[in-house]
Each structure stands twice: as C-alpha cells, then as structure tokens.
Amino acid sequence: MNADFSERRVKMVDGQIRTTDVTSAPLIEAMLSVPREAFVGAGQRDLAYIDEDIRITDGVSGGGARYLMEPSPLAKLLQLAEISDTDSVLDVGCGTGYSAALLSRIAKSVVALESDPTLAEAAKSTLSALDCQNTTVVIGPLPQGHAAAAPYDVIFIGGSVEEVPAALLGQLAEDGRLVVVEGQGNSGVARLFVKAGGVVTGRRAFNAAIKPLPGFERAHAFEF
C-alpha cells in the first residue's frame, strides 16, 4: 500500500503540480516526500491524491466545513511566497497539518495555527509521527494570528478570505510575504503582500478557486 501511495505522489506531482508552472525544486521534493494520505481519514485515503479539495471536518459551532486544499493551487501559493530555509512561517488554518508538513521541509521553522481543537490535535499527532521537529501547533482564532512568535518571514493563509485582517499583516517581518486567496469561487484571486520599509503592499498573482476559511468574512457596515 505504501508503494502504491508513493506512485500516486509521483503522479500528483507530474500531472497536477509541474503542469501548473510550479518549478521550485525544494517544494516539489517536499510534495514527493510528504504522505498526503496521512492527513485525511482512513476512509478517504484513496482520494488523497485527486485534484480536488477534500473535506476534513463539517465544522462545529457554526464554524463551517474545512478542507484539505487541492494540490495544484496549494503548490502555486507556496511557490509564490518564495520560502527559503532561513524563513520562519506562520501557517494560518493548518487543518490536519499537511501544509505545515510541506512547509517544515522548506522553511527554518513553522507555527501551525488552528482554531479547531480536534483538527489541531490531529495535526500535532501526524506531524510528530513524521518527525516535523521544526513545527509547532498552536490553537487560537485564525484572524488574530499568533503574535507570541511574530514577526514572521512568511504567512500562509490556508483558504480563501474576504479580506486579510490587519492583525496578520502586522505580524510580518521586514521583507516578509503573505500569500492568500481573496474572493470565493471563480472570483478568487491569489495575492502576494510584501512588507518593505514598514509598509505592506499587495499585488495580484493569479486566479484561484479554493474553499473559504471560516472567520475571515468582511464586516458589513451599517447602512441607513
């Protein structure tokens, strides 16, 4: 079975990742080595390498469903951040920990932030089993980030949002990068935010349709 999953990882990289202009050697190596099937339920493992989002929880207390992001947009977003082995990374909405595992292979350190305690515990267990020693799982509200370990060279938001909270932008180090998809469905746009001279600016990178991350809805102003 393990050999079968290894073959599926190669097919995922060759058929879904390389074909979408992902050329980062460290990222490709990470996607070849991290067992994506370990981050879904036992009954979902045969679906782990399909080019679709995989639901990992229905959500609790109105928090909304959560998903393991489709491999190709995930890879494109991580490549957009230009992560190096000297970078500290905040992974916002780590879910069961797959994105954190990939990041652990290419960054110096990773803080994996999760608001759902059940998902956080699953991430902690799997990341430990995979010996991701440079990764720390923390529990807290996603829009607030994790100021205790800030600033970060890279912040990755693992789902689409309506707007990026100022709290997250404020946790970027000088020359830090934040990657995110703003907007839902076919209106989603991947954006790269960069902090330079103490000022954060953003630019459009590419279109991306990924599942929303609960908690990042835009506050609606009161209208008379």
Contact 88, 213 (CB under 8 A): no
Structure tokens that stand for 194 in this block: 């960069």
List per-residue pLDDT tens for the chain, 224 residues long: 466 999 999 999 999 999 999 999 999 999 999 999 999 999 999 999 999 999 999 976 556 899 999 999 999 999 999 999 999 999 999 999 999 999 999 999 999 999 999 999 999 999 999 999 999 999 999 999 999 999 999 999 999 999 999 999 999 999 999 999 999 888 999 999 999 999 999 999 999 999 999 989 876 554 54
pLDDT of residue 49: 97
pLDDT of residue 186: 87
pLDDT of residue 1: 43
pTM above 0.85, yes or no: yes
**What is the CB neighbour count within 10 angstroms for residue 119?**
20
- Tell me the residue ranges of DSSP E strands in 17-71: 54-57, 66-68
pLDDT of residue 53: 95
CA distances from 69 to 30, 72, 73 (A): 16, 9, 8
Q: Where are the domains of the chain?
A: 2-207
Contact 123, 95 (CB under 8 A): yes
Contacts of 63 (CB under 8 A, 6+ apart): 115, 116, 214, 215
pLDDT of residue 185: 86
**What is the CB neighbour count within 10 angstroms for residue 223?**
4
The CATH class given to the 2-207 domain equals: alpha beta
Four-point Cα dihedral 125, 128, 133, 139, nearest 10 = 0
Contacts of 206 (CB under 8 A, 6+ apart): 76, 189, 190
Ramachandran angles phi, psi of 41, nearest 5°: -65, 160
Structure tokens that stand for 183 in this block: 């907007």
